Amino acid sequence: MDNERQLLEDADRRALAYFDGIPGRRVFPAPEAIAALAAFDSPLPETGRDPAEVLRQLDELGSPATTASNGGRYFGFVIGATLPAAAAAERLALAWDQCASSFDNSPAADRIEKVAARWVLESLGLPAQSAVGFGTSATACTLACLSAARRALLARKGWDFDSDGLMGAPEVRVVVSASVHITVKKALRILGFGTRRLLVAPTDAHGRIDPARLPPLDDMTLLCLQAGEVNTGEFDLFAELIPRARAANAWVHVDGAFGLWVRASSQAHLATGIEQADSWTCDGHKWLNTPYDGAMAICRDADALATAMNSDAAYASASRDAQKNLTLEFSRRARGVPIWAALASLGRDGLAAMIDRHLDQAGYLAERLREAGYQVLNRVVLNQVLVRADSDEETVAIRNAAQASGEVWFGPTLWQGRPAFRLSVSSWRTSDADIQQLADLLVRLKASGGR
């Protein structure tokens, strides 16, 4: 017991030292730190090692080879850092070690996640009766929502999907945007909707579905829209598209992994009409700045999600709204707890202020980069700045130089078939000084052609 306590104290000490070092560390680790990871590459030990020694190795070799995504100068993949309240809640929940499946497994987790669910709906302005499953990712939550959608569409035709499966079932047509996120395609693929059979809705110059070219919809159509295109940050035209889908009795799912949070900001109008959809996915671990493995499957028809995801057994029955009946997982961490803590510590105004600050910072970045001679390829309506230099070679050289500098990190992308880079502003830690540093570096690199 004493040893366990010492070990946990050592872990806390090391975690705090890591944490203190973030501002001074390279954003992407140095090649030597990455090379040193080879020391992990040993056979499974025949006999166990001292836990203190295990932790020491993890910290001494692992910590230096991490990316500083929990810092303020990481601009990749629209992922945030972790808010203090969320990190602290996660720490406590780890000590609780709850199997957060149902009330019987964990009264605390059950009640707190129910409040988190309500607050998520209130923050996002989505229908209050919706079910909210806290799953591992937008990918997993999309899978959950789309299975509910398919089951419900088939039930309307009198088809019992649970008993009869897919063989001989009426066809469900799936319409996706030409710029659909790869994970939505992945979820569809896993569900058995072959990629060749998807009906692709052409997009406009901003990456939004062009309403004039939307394929026909009917009562067996599953229409997948998106809130926050990964390159441009743009939104499908929900107010126009969703009423058309509703009139046709189609099911509308919205992938809002990061973009849904705009609903909590002063720019909520960007997603007007989104509340009329049938289901939505949203991540906590991106723009809400909660730890990884925290996402939401939200379904207007609570029963549709609860029946599709039901996993009641004779030895494990639970209420319809127990988390194990709303997510893919049977045993699960209380992943709604850090989400609750984030929302409790921010409040409505803090959440709005964080999102609004990122929008302002993205706008400022775009302005500085345009002045320096970069092409900013998107309208920067959200927190994404899509950038290109004069030639593909220069774009790639500047991106590589910025990544190698260790000062900042952002990722590559392709836009209309040519290289670009994407700056995502989504960390609560990103200060105006961090933005200044990123802009200064990119301006300098443009002047020197990436050298």
Ligand X SMILES: *Cc1c(COP(=O)(O)O)cnc(C)c1O
69 binds ligand X (CB under 6 A): no
Quote the tokens at residue 136. Answer: 């591992």
Instruction: Select the span of 22-30, 110-118, 223-231, 303-311 touching ligand X (CB under 6 A).
Output: 223-231
- Assess contact for 236 and 261: CB atoms under 8 A: no
Which one, 74 or 258, has the nearer CB to ligand X? 258
Among 64, 71, 207, 228, binds ligand X (CB under 6 A): 228
Query: To the nearest whole angstrom, how small is the minimum distance from the Cβ of residue 197 to ligand X?
Result: 21
Query: To the nearest whole angstrom, how small is the minimum distance from the Cβ of residue 449 to ligand X?
Result: 31
Q: Is 11 exposed, middle or buried (0-12, 13-18, 19+ CB in 10 A)?
A: middle
**Residue count, binding to ligand X (CB under 6 A):** 14
- Per DSSP, the three-state class of 102 is coil
Query: To the nearest whole angstrom, how small is the minimum distance from the Cβ of residue 97 to ligand X?
Result: 24
Residue 248, strand partner residues: none
Quote the tokens at residue 130. Answer: 């919706």
- Assess contact for 169 and 161: CB atoms under 8 A: yes
Phi/psi at 224 (nearest 5 deg)?
Answer: -105, 115
Which one, 144 or 439, has the nearer CB to ligand X? 144
| 195 C-beta neighbours (distance < 10 Å), count | 12
Here's the x/- map for ligand X, 75-114, by CB under 6 A: it reads as: ---x------------------------------------
Among 220, 257, 304, 389, binds ligand X (CB under 6 A): 257
Instruction: Select the span of 132-140, 246-254, 266-274, 333-341 touching ligand X (CB under 6 A).
Output: 132-140
Query: To the nearest whole angstrom, how small is the minimum distance from the Cβ of residue 135 to ligand X?
Result: 9
Query: To the nearest whole angstrom, how small is the minimum distance from the Cβ of residue 185 to ligand X?
Result: 10
230 binds ligand X (CB under 6 A): yes
Here's the x/- map for ligand X, 163-182, by CB under 6 A: it reads as: ------------------x-
Query: To the nearest whole angstrom, how small is the minimum distance from the Cβ of residue 177 to ligand X?
Result: 11
Which one, 286 or 300, has the nearer CB to ligand X? 286
**Site residues (CB under 6 A) for ligand X, limited to 133-152:** 137-139
- Assess contact for 141 and 120: CB atoms under 8 A: no
CA dihedral (318, 324, 330, 332) positive or negative: negative
Query: To the nearest whole angstrom, how small is the minimum distance from the Cβ of residue 139 to ligand X?
Result: 3
**Alpha-helical regions (H) of 102-164:** 107-124, 138-156, 161-164
Which one, 220 or 326, has the nearer CB to ligand X? 326
- Per DSSP, the three-state class of 428 is coil
Which one, 64 or 336, has the nearer CB to ligand X? 336
| 237 C-beta neighbours (distance < 10 Å), count | 17
Query: To the nearest whole angstrom, how small is the minimum distance from the Cβ of residue 79 to ligand X?
Result: 8
What lies within 8 Å, CB to CB, of 238 at 6+ separation is 225, 227, 254, 271, 272, 273, 274, 276, 277
Query: To the nearest whole angstrom, how small is the minimum distance from the Cβ of residue 253 to ligand X?
Result: 12
Here's the x/- map for ligand X, 399-438, by CB under 6 A: it reads as: ----------------------------------------
Instruction: Select the span of 22-30, 226-234, 331-339, 426-434 touching ligand X (CB under 6 A).
Output: 226-234
**Site residues (CB under 6 A) for ligand X, limited to 279-338:** 283, 295
Among 90, 255, 301, 329, binds ligand X (CB under 6 A): 255
Which one, 267 or 307, has the nearer CB to ligand X? 267
Whole-angstrom Cα distance, residue 20 to residue 24? 8
Which one, 72 or 294, has the nearer CB to ligand X? 294
| 115 C-beta neighbours (distance < 10 Å), count | 13
Q: Report which DSSP code applies to 38.
A: G
Whole-angstrom Cα distance, residue 408 to residue 403? 6
List the one residue out of 279, 318, 283, 324 whose CA is nearest residue 302.
Answer: 279
| 266 C-beta neighbours (distance < 10 Å), count | 11
Quote the tokens at residue 140. Answer: 């997993």
Distances (CA, A) of 56 to 21, 95, 187: 17, 21, 39
Query: To the nearest whole angstrom, how small is the minimum distance from the Cβ of residue 391 to ligand X?
Result: 28
Summarize as ranges the residues that interact with ligand X (CB under 6 A): 78, 137-139, 181, 183, 226, 228, 230, 255, 257-258, 283, 295
